[in-house]
Each structure stands twice: as structure tokens, then as C-alpha cells.
């Protein structure tokens, strides 16, 4: 009820001092008000934004005790500052940091409603990344409507805007192919596993192309194994058992299932490319040479 009063009150009739405005903003933050929707559950949330003001410690101290983290300024690159164990809205609790990239950071969080671990992608508080994140949300929702079994692309659980950061909630998956290789001392995958990963990847690309969508940034970092579980087997190409244990054994993933992630650069085939697509190391020759090619379905195939 108090939220409705704060939203509907005629601000011109109120005392417009910093403390009152700050109180209104922090009250909304404490209640976890944000804009987004629960995918599949279609739970709408009232839009709100949290404004950062100086000298806010008087209010922050009391609110933090009730579960809302204190307001902090983003770092110099626009990344959201957090501490492990804090709440990200009233629903999610930060457990660990899973990774980071140009877009922002990915946190492992406990979903208090679903009673499960999820991965939350927190976008940097910069306009161009915010816009790319909203494109990704739109693409993910479209993919989810057509990928009924959820077997090709990562599944979006929810999304919301929190303190000027778009947050996208995903199912929690295993490591990406690059990290798995790196932790395995860059030993190659078994050929049968390579065939299976390749088959699934082609199915995913074909699925997206049927929807007139082009990923534009396929790479090992954007292909996740479904599970983190693995077994250790002797590395028969190693010279002897006297070498370090890590050198003698290599890891084999228990699961061959993969899912593609990171749809922030996805475009529609009729949209055309007005900018350079894909990561430099995986960039197609026609992109490097600047050729104008209306049909850009070749990009993912080159990647």
C-alpha cells in the first residue's frame, strides 16, 4: 500500500528535499521492485528505478539489515559492485562469481522461489550494453517459444532491471568449451565427443536460421556443456606416471550435451550488418575484408 502512495502522490505537494526522495527510492529498492517478467509464469513487476544520492548511509544502514544490499556506485567500467552472500532483489542470493566478459559479469545465485541455483548475467550500467541486453532478452524469448524441449539454446528464466543494470536469469549449466580445454591443459576432446558436439551445434545454427536469426558470435566461450561433471582417465600419450598427476590424467566430460549462449549480438537476416560482427579471433574473411554481403548465414558456419 505504501508503494502505491509513493507512486501516486503529487510530488509538487511534497517537501522536495534529498532525504525524502532518497527514502522513496530506497524503500522501493528494499522491496525488490523491478521491471521484468517470469518466463513461463508471466509474473509482471511494477517498473521502478533506484537513484543514487550522496550521503545516503543514514538510510542504507537500516535497510541493509533487512536484506537489501547498500547502494554502491558502479566501478569505473560500469560493473555492478557486490559482495558474496548479498541479495540481488529479495528473490536471489549471490553465491559466487562464475565469470565475466565485455558485457558484464555472471553470478551464481540461489533462487529462493524455485529452490535452485541459477546463473544471473548482470549487464554493465552503460547504454550500449543495456540496449544489447534488451535485444538478447527479446531473442531468448523468441527462441524459448520455438525450442519447446529447450535442447538447443540456453533457457531464460527471468529478467529484471536492478539499480540501472539489466539482469538476465538463466538455467545453471556447466563450463564453456574453452574453459574445459584450458583446465584440461588443452588436451583435445575424444573424436566421438567432437562429432556429437558438432552435430548439436549444426542443429542449433539450423534452428536459428529457420527463425531468420544469425548468432554472429559463435565460439568455444559461447558453447556450454550441460553438466560440470567429468571423469579422469589416463593420458596414454603422456610419457610416464612419474609426471605430475595433472599431466598424467585428462578430463572427459560425462555429458556430451551442449547449449549455445550469448545472443546479445544476434541479428535478423534481413536486418543487414552495419557494424563488425563476431570476435576478432573467429571473424570470417568477408567480415575482415569489409565485403557487403546481404546473406550473412555464412558467419556462424565459418565460426
Indicate left, alpha or beta for 178 from its phi (over 0: left) and psi (-120 to 50: alpha). alpha
CA separation for the pair 43, 90 (Å, rounded):
15
The reply to whether 217 belongs to the active site is: yes
Strand order of the sheet with strand 156-162? 36-38, 156-162, 165-171, 116-123, 104-111, 92-100, 87-88
Cα angle at 53 between 50 and 58, to 5 degrees?
Answer: 100
- Residue corresponding to grid cell 525450442: 147
Q: Distance (Å, rounded) from C-alpha 303 to C-alpha 291?
A: 17
At 117, is the secondary structure helix, strand, or coil?
strand
Q: Give me the catalytic one of 62, 74, 210, 217.
A: 217
The beta-strand segments (E) located in the chain are 36-38, 87-88, 92-100, 104-111, 116-123, 156-162, 165-171, 213-214, 223-225, 230-234, 249-253, 258-260, 267-268
Catalytic residues: 217
Amino acid at each position: 500500500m505504501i508503494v502505491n502512495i509513493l507512486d501516486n502522490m503529487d510530488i509538487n505537494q511534497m517537501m522536495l528535499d534529498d532525504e525524502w526522495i532518497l527514502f522513496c527510492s530506497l524503500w522501493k529498492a528494499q522491496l525488490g521492485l523491478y521491471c521484468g517478467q517470469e518466463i513461463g509464469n508471466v509474473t509482471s513487476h511494477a517498473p521502478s528505478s533506484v537513484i543514487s544520492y550522496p550521503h545516503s548511509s543514514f538510510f542504507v544502514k537500516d535497510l541493509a539489515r533487512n536484506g537489501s544490499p547498500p547502494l554502491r556506485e558502479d566501478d569505473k567500467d560500469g560493473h555492478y559492485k557486490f559482495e558474496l552472500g548479498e541479495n540481488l532483489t529479495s528473490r536471489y542470493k549471490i553465491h559466487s562469481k562464475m565469470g565475466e566478459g565485455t558485457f558484464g559479469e555472471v553470478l551464481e545465485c540461489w533462487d529462493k522461489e524455485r529452490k535452485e541455483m541459477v546463473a544471473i548475467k548482470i549487464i554493465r550500467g552503460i547504454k550500449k550494453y543495456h540496449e544489447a541486453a534488451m535485444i538478447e532478452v527479446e531473442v531468448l524469448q523468441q527462441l524459448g517459444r520455438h525450442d519447446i524441449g529447450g535442447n538447443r539454446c540456453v533457457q531464460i528464466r527471468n529478467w529484471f532491471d536492478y539499480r540501472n543494470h539489466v539482469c538476465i536469469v538463466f538455467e545453471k549449466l556447466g563450463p564453456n568449451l574453452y574453459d574445459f580445454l584450458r583446465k584440461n591443459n588443452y588436451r583435445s576432446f575424444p573424436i566421438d565427443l567432437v562429432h556429437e558436439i558438432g552435430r548439436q551445434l549444426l542443429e542449433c545454427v539450423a534452428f536459428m536460421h529457420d527463425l531468420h536469426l544469425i548468432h554472429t558470435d559463435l565460439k568455444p566461450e559461447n558453447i556450454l556443456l550441460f553438466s560440470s561433471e567429468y571423469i579422469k582417465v589416463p593420458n596414454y600419450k603422456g610419457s610416464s606416471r612419474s609426471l605430475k598427476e595433472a599431466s598424467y590424467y585428462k578430463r572427459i566430460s560425462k555429458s556430451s550435451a551442449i547449449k549455445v549462449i550469448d545472443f546479445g549480438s544476434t541479428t535478423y537476416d534481413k536486418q543487414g550488418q552495419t557494424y563488425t560482427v563476431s570476435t576478432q579471433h573467429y571473424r570470417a574473411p568477408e567480415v575482415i575484408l569489409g565485403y557487403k554481403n546481404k546473406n550473412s548465414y555464412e558467419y556462424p558456419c565459418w565460426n
